[in-house]
Amino acid sequence: MGERLDLITLTEPRSAAAEAYRTLRTNLTFFGALDRPVETLVVTSAGPGEGKSQVLANLAVTMAQGERRTILVDADLRRPTLHDVFDVSNERGLTTMILEQQAVDEPPLLDVGVENLQLMPSGPLPPNPADILGSGRMERVIGVLKDRADIVLFDAPPVVAVTDAAVLGTKVDGVLLVVSAGRTRRDHAERAKELLERVDVRILGAVLNEVSRNVTLSGY
């Protein structure tokens, strides 16, 4: 199914990279056990092209494989990609749920062929993404989705580029920052951390992505 090759947790479940995602799942589970449970999570990056959506999709698959009812939401209302990763329609999704009461009562969730995993694409792109993500209506959407899953994962635009991730981050249990080896600039990563902390977003940690295969981490 096209871009599903990016889903190494499905195509190569015994690989070092897939194991790294399972370790990430375990770390997030323990983090919630030590502090407050992580039931809603935003995954973002400092800048574009750092692999946040691929990391998030694989994390969602891993969560579902761990028998947690998982909802994956494409809240990148500027450059959504998750519908391409899973090869599904983007006709209805998060923005539909924001605009239509019926969609709140019956969320436009799609099965993607992975047990325990449902996807909500972005839906039609709005002119005011940050306003939508910061609205009271968005809080209601989050509440509805939480009632239907054990964990809800949100993809959000890069932190330094626009305010969307920071705005959405204030409404969830935590934010995970994807950092790409050899691509993410140190000052951009520091700036992203500063912008999130400025609005009291709970940063759970960072994921190092695209590490060379010739290092100890064997490709992750």
For residue range 63-91, what is the model confidence (pLDDT) as tens digits? 999 999 999 999 999 999 999 999 999 99
According to DSSP, residue 173 is labeled S
Q: Does residue 137 sit within a domain?
A: yes
Q: Is residue 117 part of a domain?
A: yes
Could you tell me the residue range of the domain that residue 94 belongs to? 2-11+39-209
Which amino acid, 83?
Answer: H
16-34 and 52-65 helices cross at what angle (nearest 10)? 80
List, for residues 38-55, the tens digit of each pLDDT value: 999 999 998 888 889 999
Supply the mean pLDDT for the chain.
88
Helix count (H) and strand count (E) of the chain? Answer: 10, 7
DSSP 8-state symbol, 41: E
- Give the separation between CA 166 and CA 61, rounded to whole angstroms: 25
Run of H or E residues at 117: strand 117-120
What is the phi/psi pair of residue 127, to 5°?
A: -80, -15
| Residue 126, C-beta contacts closer than 8 angstroms, at least 6 positions apart | 77, 95, 132
Identify the burial level of 123 via C-beta atoms within 10 angstroms of its C-beta, where 0-12 means exposed, 13-18 middle and 19 or more buried: buried
CA angle, corner 109, sides to 106 and 113, nearest 5? Answer: 145
The reported pLDDT for the residue numbered 212 is 60
Domain contains 21? no
Q: Is residue 175 part of a domain?
A: yes
Which residues lie closer than 8 Å to 153 by C-beta, 6 or more apart?
A: 41, 42, 43, 56, 59, 60, 63, 70, 71, 72, 73
SS3 category, 28: helix
pLDDT at 32: 61
Return the pLDDT at 191: 85
Give the separation between CA 20 and CA 216, rounded to whole angstroms. Answer: 12
Would 23 be classed as within a structural domain? Answer: no
Q: Is residue 176 part of a domain?
A: yes
Q: What mean pLDDT comes out for the span 185-208?
A: 85
Domains in the chain: how many in total? 1
For the chain, percent helix, then strand, then coil, each to nearest 5?
Answer: 40, 15, 40
Percent share of the chain, pLDDT over 70? 90
Q: What is the mean pLDDT of residues 5-19?
A: 87
Is the model's pTM score more than 0.95?
A: no
10 Å CB burial of residue 128 (0-12, 13-18, 19+) is exposed
Is the model's pLDDT at 179 over the cut of 80?
yes
Tell me whether residue 108 is in a domain: yes
Q: Does 165 reside within a domain?
A: yes
pLDDT at 23: 92
CATH code: domain of residue 161:
3.40.50.300
